[in-house]
Amino acid sequence: MIKNKLVYKDVNYYLLAFALAIWSSIFVPLNSFGQVADSVKRGIPTKFKADSLNKVNQLNEVQINSVKITRRQTSSTPLQILSGAELERLNSLSVADAVRFFSGVQLKDYGGIGGLKTINVRSMGTNHTAVFYDGVQLGNAQNGQVDLGKFSLDNIEEIELYNGQKSSVFQSAKGFSSGSALYLNAKQPVFEQGQSDHLTATFKTGSFGLVNPSVRWQKKINDRVYTSISTEYKNAHGRYKFHDSNGTYDTSMVRKNADIETMRLEGGLYGKLADSSMWSAKIYFYTDEQGLPGAIVNNVYDFTQRLWNRSFFVQGNYKKETGKYNLMASVKYANDYSRYLDPNLVKDDGLTNNIYKQQEWYLTLSNRYKINSLWDVVLSADYQRNILDANLYRFPYPTRQTVLLALATEIHLNRLNIQANLLGTLVNDEVKQYYSAGDKNELTPTIMASWQPFSSKEFRLRTFYKHIFRMPTFNDLYYTFIGNTFLKPEYTRQYDLGFTYIRQFEGKWLNQISIQSDAYYNIVKDKIVAVPGANLFRWSMQNLGRVEIKGLDVNAQSAWEITSLLKANAGFTYTYQQALNVSNVNLNYKHQIPYTPVHSGSVIAGLDYKNIGFNYSYIYTGERYDQSANIAVNYVQPWYTHDVAFQYHKAINQKNIRFLVEINNLLNQTYAVITNFPMPGRSYRLTLSYSY
C-alpha cells in the first residue's frame, strides 16, 4: 500500500492566502463600514424589500421600470431567467423540466418521472456546469453530476443560467470556477404591512400514478427575523406505454421499474441585524427510493435494479453591504448516501449492493473594497473538503481538499463595464490505500465587458473570455478497475460576443420586446472519456478528446396588452451548435459529438383573460448521433413535443385558489432523448393550490 506524498510548499502558499482573506474579514475596523444605505420600510429587511421589487420587475421579464435596466441587459455574460409566474405557467414538475426552455442547453433525460436528468450547456459537458442553491454550490465529488429531476419547483422562486459565470465580482471563489452556472433561488418570505403568516398548500396528481402534496409556511417572528418551512412528498408507479421497433416489427410495451417515492423537508431562517447586515440559515433533507428502468436492448424489458438516495445539508450565510467595505461569508456541511442494488449481477460475495457515502465541509469568505465610485476590488477565498466512502472491492477511500483564491476587479463607467478575475486553484487528494492522483495547481483568468454604444439604454454589447478547468471526479480517478489516477484535468477556453436589446412601448398593443443573441467558440482540451480495454467489461478513463464548439444562441421575448383584461406573452429560443471532435485525424475527425443537435429551439406563448390563463410550449431537438462516428447506424431522429396548460385563479378575502390542468406531449410523439431509453407519450397533470 502506497500513499501519495503532499507537496507542502503549494499547500502552505494557498493556506496563507486563505488565512489573509479571513484576517481581512475579521480585523477591518468596524467604523469603515459606513452608514446604513437603505432604511427599513414597513418592517421589511432591505434584502426582502429588494428581492420583492426584483421579483415584480422580472415577472414574465416584461414588467421593467423604464428608469432601471434589468440584470439580464447589463450582464457581461449571457443570462437567462425564469421566475415567478413564468415557472408556474410552464408544464414543469422539476427544475429539469424548466431548464429545457433555455437556449444553448441540452438536457440529458433517461425517461420517466424519476429518470436521471442532467444539464449540458453549450456542449462542454455536464461536469462543467455548477449548480448553486441559495448561493452555495451543490457538490458531488463522486461523479460531478447534479440530478435536476430531484429539485421540485414547489419552493423555487427563480432559476438563473449564466454562461461563463455570474456577472458580479462580489461572489464566492466557487462562482468563478466553472464553465457555466445554474442558480436556484428558493422562495423567501415577503410580507405586506400587517401580515405575519403565509401558507401555501398544493396537491398534484396525474399520469404515472402521481401523488404529490406539498406545504410551505412562512412566518414573521418579528420585524427583523423571518422563517420558512417547506415540505413535499411524491409517489408514482412510473409505468407508461412506449413503442419498440427494430425495423421488422412494431410493438407496444409498458415501461416498468420506473416507480419513485420521495420526501423533501427544508427550513430557512432569515434575519437582519441592527448594523443592516443580513444573515440566513437553511437546513435541507431529501430521501428517495426508485426503480431504475434500464436500456431497451435485445428485447429485454423487465429490470430489477433499485436505487436509494439520501441528501442532507445545513448552510449559513452572512452579508454586509454598507460603506466602502463589504463582506459575504457562507459555511456548509453536507452528507449524502446512495445505495445501488442489482439482483441480476451476482459477484463472488453475493448480489451487487454498492453503497456510497459522501461528506463535504465548505467555507467561503468574500471581501469587496470600493476604491471609488467607479472601481471595486474583490478577494474571495474558499476551502472545501470532500470524503468518499464505499463498500467496493479495492476501494482507495479518497479525501480531497480544495482551496480556491480569486482576485477580481470591476470598473463601471457610464456606458462601459469591465470585469476581470484571476482564480488560483489547489486540489490535493489523499487515499487510505493504493495510489492517489496527488496535487493539481492552476491559475485561470477571465475577462469580460459590457458596452452601451448609444445614448439609448435599449441596446448593449457584451463579450467575455474565460479559461477554466474541471477536476476529474472520484469515479474518474478511483473507481475500481476503471479509474485512472494519472488523468489530467479537462480544460476549456470560452469566447463569447453578443448583444441585448430591450424596448418598451407606451400605449401600444406590444408592451415590450427583448432580444439577446450570442455567438461563441469553445475549446475543450484533454476531454475525459471512457475507453474499452482488452476486456470489454473493463473500461478505463483516459484523456483522449479535444472538442471545438461553434454556436449561436438567440432568445426573444415579447409582452402584449390587447385590452385591459386580455394580455399575452410570447417567447422564442434557438440554438445552433457545431461541436466537432478534432482529437484524431484518423478517427471520427470533425464528426459531431454524441447527442449534440445542430439545431434546437423552443416556443412559449401565453394568454390571460381575467382569471383564466392558457399556456402553450413547444420544444424541438434536431437530428443527432448517439456515438462518436456520424454514420447511419448511430443516427438519432429529431424529436419535438407540444405541451398545453390551462389555469384558473380566484382571490377571496385575501385567500387565493389556483387550479391548473396540464397536457404534456399533446400529440403523443414517440421519441427518446437518450437512445434505448423511451420517453412517455401523452400525459396529464392536475394541480390545486391554496394560499393566504
Summarised one tens digit per residue, pLDDT across range 229-279 is 999 999 999 999 988 776 566 778 899 899 999 999 999 999 999 888 999
In this predicted model, what pLDDT tens digit does every residue of 575-620 receive, in sequence order? 999 999 999 888 899 999 999 999 999 999 999 999 999 999 999 9
Greatest mean pLDDT among 10-14, 416-420, 674-678 lies in 416-420
Least confident among 70-74, 119-123, 203-207, 363-367: 70-74
In this predicted model, what pLDDT tens digit does every residue of 488-512 receive, in sequence order? 999 999 999 999 999 988 888 999 9
In this predicted model, what pLDDT tens digit does every residue of 32-65 receive, in sequence order? 323 333 333 333 333 333 343 333 333 333 343 3
Query: Considering just the CA atoms, what is the radius of gyration of the chain in Å?
Result: 25
Residue 540 has pLDDT above 90, yes or no: no
Residue 542 has pLDDT above 90, yes or no: no
DSSP 80-137: EEEETHHHHHSS-SBHHHHHTTSTTEEEEE-SSTTS-EEEEETTS-GGGEEEEETTEE
pLDDT value, residue 587: 86
In this predicted model, what pLDDT tens digit does every residue of 129-170 receive, in sequence order? 999 999 999 988 888 889 998 898 989 999 999 999 999 999
In this predicted model, what pLDDT tens digit does every residue of 403-422 receive, in sequence order? 999 999 999 998 999 999 99
Cell of residue 484, nine digits = 485512472
Residue 398 has pLDDT above 80, yes or no: yes
In percent, the amount of the chain with pLDDT more than 90 equals 64
Band of the pLDDT at 189, cuts 50, 70, 90?
confident
Q: What phi, psi does 173 have (nearest 5°)?
A: -60, -30
What's the mean pLDDT when you consider all of the chain? Answer: 86
> Residue 227's closest CA among 268, 266, 195?
268
Band of the pLDDT at 12, cuts 50, 70, 90?
very low
How far is Cα 681 from Cα 665, in angstroms, rounded to an integer? 6
How far is Cα 172 from Cα 183, in angstroms, rounded to an integer? 13
Cα dihedral across residues 55, 59, 63, 69: positive or negative = positive
Residue 530 has pLDDT above 90, yes or no: no
pLDDT value, residue 110: 84
Helix, strand, or coil (residue 456) = coil
* Bigger pLDDT: 545 vs 402: 402
Band of the pLDDT at 109, cuts 50, 70, 90?
confident
Q: Would you give the distance in Å from CA 414 to the centre of its chain? A: 32
- One-letter identity of residue 572: F
Neighbouring CB atoms inside 10 A of 47's CB total: 21
Helix, strand, or coil (residue 174) = helix
pLDDT value, residue 107: 87
User: Is 319 within 8 Å of 344 (Cβ atoms)?
Assistant: no
Band of the pLDDT at 392, cuts 50, 70, 90?
confident
Residue 549 has pLDDT above 70, yes or no: yes
Neighbouring CB atoms inside 10 A of 537's CB total: 7
In percent, the amount of the chain with pLDDT more than 70 equals 87
pLDDT value, residue 529: 81
Residue 570 has pLDDT above 90, yes or no: yes
pLDDT value, residue 597: 96
CATH number among 2.60.40, 2.40.128, 2.40.170, 2.40.160, domain 8-197+322-328+345-691:
2.40.170
Band of the pLDDT at 87, cuts 50, 70, 90?
confident
Cell of residue 479, nine digits = 473507481
Cα dihedral across residues 549, 603, 687, 135: positive or negative = positive
Greatest mean pLDDT among 19-28, 89-98, 185-194, 414-423 lies in 414-423
Residue 295 has pLDDT above 50, yes or no: yes
Residue 681 has pLDDT above 80, yes or no: yes
How far is Cα 439 from Cα 512, in angstroms, rounded to an integer? 52
The residues with which 346 forms a beta bridge, in sequence order, are 351
Cell of residue 148, nine digits = 435536476
Residue 558 has pLDDT above 90, yes or no: yes
In this predicted model, what pLDDT tens digit does every residue of 298-329 receive, in sequence order? 888 888 999 999 999 999 999 998 889 999 99
Least confident among 20-24, 522-526, 642-646: 20-24
